[in-house]
């Protein structure tokens, strides 16, 4: 898996192994065009458990701005990445402020980790979060609470992405 992704990373992604820990990868995802994330670089640290691929790796988002900006409803300021395929509790051990981490609510049936998934699956799933209207990624936010919320959120994200 690691050799394959080093040779053929998903489009818009860059990966590099950690120099001191062979069970850790550093990943950059470039913000997709025509989204509030365009021209941004989003850094993730992926740590593989000893029983990988039977167990999902731990993924930590390393946000800019000293963790003051929540770049997406699924990317928390503390570094938590809320993806069903990673499991509900995966970020607690990696969050510098565990008390701030809430488990992803069970709002709909979703896929869980399976040994057939890999780092490419994770990076592509994270890329899908960096969409044109991320406001609507939040469960229950299919429509705006106040007209213009989505546009205002995108404007904040554009500014913070380029800052």
Nearest C-alpha neighbor of 122 from the set 31, 61, 34, 38: 61
Q: How far apart are the first and last CA of the chain?
A: 34
Whether 13 contacts 128, CB under 8 Å: no
For residues 80 and 98, give the distance between their C-alpha atoms in angstroms, rounded to a whole number. Answer: 10
Is 82 annotated as catalytic? yes
Nearest C-alpha neighbor of 154 from the set 131, 138, 123: 131
Biggest alpha carbon distance in the chain?
A: 49
Q: Choosing from 78, 82, 95, 104, which is the catalytic residue? A: 82
DSSP letter (8 states) at residue 59: E
Nearest C-alpha neighbor of 58 from the set 83, 29, 32: 83
Query: Annotated active-site positions, please?
Result: 82
């Amino acid at each position: 898996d690691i050799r394959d992704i080093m040779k053929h990373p998903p489009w818009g992604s860059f990966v590099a192994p950690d120099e001191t820990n062979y069970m850790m990868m550093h990943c950059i995802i470039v913000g997709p065009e025509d989204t509030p994330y365009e021209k941004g670089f989003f850094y993730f640290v992926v740590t593989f458990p000893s029983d990988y691929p039977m167990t999902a790796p731990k993924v930590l988002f390393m946000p800019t701005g000293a963790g003051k900006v929540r770049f997406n409803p699924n990317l928390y300021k503390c570094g938590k990445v809320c993806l069903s395929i990673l499991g509900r509790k995966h970020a607690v051990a990696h969050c510098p402020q565990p008390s701030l981490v809430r488990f992803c609510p069970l709002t709909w049936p979703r896929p869980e980790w399976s040994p057939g998934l890999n780092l490419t699956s994770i990076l592509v799933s994270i890329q899908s979060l960096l969409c044109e209207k991320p406001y609507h990624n939040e469960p229950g936010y299919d429509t705006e609470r106040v007209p213009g919320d989505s546009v205002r959120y995108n404007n904040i994200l554009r500014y913070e992405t380029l800052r």
